[in-house]
C-alpha cells in the first residue's frame, strides 16, 4: 500500500495554516465535506476538517482512510487544559485517549468503556518519538498525556475536575477519542496534537474565542514540521 498521510482538524481554522503552506491542492467534495489532496515534502497528503464532535470526526477519519487511502493520520487542533501546568498556547500530544461522555456504568463498567472496546486507546509510539524530536529541534516544550474526548464544550470546573479524576486526563476536546477508535480498528498509526486554547472553566468560551486561531496555528506549524521529517 502506498504511503499517504491524512492531516485532520475539526474546524476550518485548524487546517487553514496547512492549506496556506501547500499553495496548490486538488479538492474533492464527498459526504458533505471537502477533502484536499496535495504533495508536501515528497509525501502525498489528504487534508480535511471534520466539523466539531465525535460523529463528524468519525466520518472524516474513516473517509480519509477508506476512500482516500490514508495509511497514517495526524490530527492538529486546540484543546481545553485539564492539567494546571498547561497554559494557553502549550502543546500536548496524546499518549492515549478516552471518551469522557461514554457511560454504561449502570452495568458495572468503568466510564469510557464498552464491551469489546478499550477505555483508553493508545497512540502510535513512533509518531510520538518523532514529535519529541521535532519539539527538541523547535525548542518547544511538548507535553505527552491523556486526552479525554466528549460531545461537550467543557466550561465548568466541576466537569473538568470530574474528568481529571475519572480519566487522569491532561487535556480535553471533542474529536480525538473517536478518531482514535477509527484508526485503532483500521490499524492506522495515528497521532493527536493539541494546542491549549482555554482552561475548560467558566471563562473557557471567551478564552477559546480569543486564542483559538493562534493556538490552532501553533499546532499546525508543529504538525507540518513532523511531515517534513517524515518526508526525509
> What is the contact surface with ligand ADE in residues (CB under 6 A)?
78-80, 153-155, 172-174, 197-198, 200, 204, 208
> Whole-number minimum distance, CB 53 to ligand ADE, in Å?
10
Number of other residues whose CB lies within 10 A of the CB of residue 116: 5
Q: Show Cβ contacts of residue 3 under 8 Å, excluding neighbours closer than 6 positions.
A: 43, 44, 71, 72
Select 130 or 179, whichever has its Cβ closest to ligand ADE: 179
Tell me how crowded residue 126 is: count the other CB atoms within 10 A of its CB: 11
Least distance (Å) between residue 79 CB and ligand ADE = 5
Closer of 127 and 212 to ligand ADE (Cβ): 212
In the complex, least distance from residue 80 CB atom to ligand ADE, rounded to whole angstroms: 3
Would you call 124 a catalytic residue per the annotation?
no
Which of 13, 14, 90, 170 is catalytic? The answer is 14
Q: How far is the CB of 7 from ligand ADE (least distance, A)?
A: 18
Of the chain, the end-to-end C-alpha distance in Å amounts to 19
Q: Which residues of 174-205 are buried (b: 16+ CB within 10 A; e: fewer)?
A: bbbbbbbbbbbeeebebbbbbbbbbbbbeebe
Q: Which residue number, 40 or 208, has a Cβ lying nearer to ligand ADE?
A: 208
Catalytic residue among 124, 175, 184, 198: 198
Q: How far is the CB of 97 from ligand ADE (least distance, A)?
A: 13
Residue closer to ligand ADE, measured from CB, 128 or 157: 157
Helices (H) and strands (E) in the chain, counts: 6, 10
Nearer to ligand ADE, 46 or 99 (CB): 99
Nearest residue to the partner ligand ADE, using Cβ = 80
Q: Which residues contact 97 (CB under 8 A, 6 or more apart)?
A: 120, 121, 123, 146, 147, 148, 149, 176, 177, 180, 192
Residue 187 falls in the annotated catalytic set: no
* Residues assigned a catalytic role: 14, 198
Amino acid at each position: 500500500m502506498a504511503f499517504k498521510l491524512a492531516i485532520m482538524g475539526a474546524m476550518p481554522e485548524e487546517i487553514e495554516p496547512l492549506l496556506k503552506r501547500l499553495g496548490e491542492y486538488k479538492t474533492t467534495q464527498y459526504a458533505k465535506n471537502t477533502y484536499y489532496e496535495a504533495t508536501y515534502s515528497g509525501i502525498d497528503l489528504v487534508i480535511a476538517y471534520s466539523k466539531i464532535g465525535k460523529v463528524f470526526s468519525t466520518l472524516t477519519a474513516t473517509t480519509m482512510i477508506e476512500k482516500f487511502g490514508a495509511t497514517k493520520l495526524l490530527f492538529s487542533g486546540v484543546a481545553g487544559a485539564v492539567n494546571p501546568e498547561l497554559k494557553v498556547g502549550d502543546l500536548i500530544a496524546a499518549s492515549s485517549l478516552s471518551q469522557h461522555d461514554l457511560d454504561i456504568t449502570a452495568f458495572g463498567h468503568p466510564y469510557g468503556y464498552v464491551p469489546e472496546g478499550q477505555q483508553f486507546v493508545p497512540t502510535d509510539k513512533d509518531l510520538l518519538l518523532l514529535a519529541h524530536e521535532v519539539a527538541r529541534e523547535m525548542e518547544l516544550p511538548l507535553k505527552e498525556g491523556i486526552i479525554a474526548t466528549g460531545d461537550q464544550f467543557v466550561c465548568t470546573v466541576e466537569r473538568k475536575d470530574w474528568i481529571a479524576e475519572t480519566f487522569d486526563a491532561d487535556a480535553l476536546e471533542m474529536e480525538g477519542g473517536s478518531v482514535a477508535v477509527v484508526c485503532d480498528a483500521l490499524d492506522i498509526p495515528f497521532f493527536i496534537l493539541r494546542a491549549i486554547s482555554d482552561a475548560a472553566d467558566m471563562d473557557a468560551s471567551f478564552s477559546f474565542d480569543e486564542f483559538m486561531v493562534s493556538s490552532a496555528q501553533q499546532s499546525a506549524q508543529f504538525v507540518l514540521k513532523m511531515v517534513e521529517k517524515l518526508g526525509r
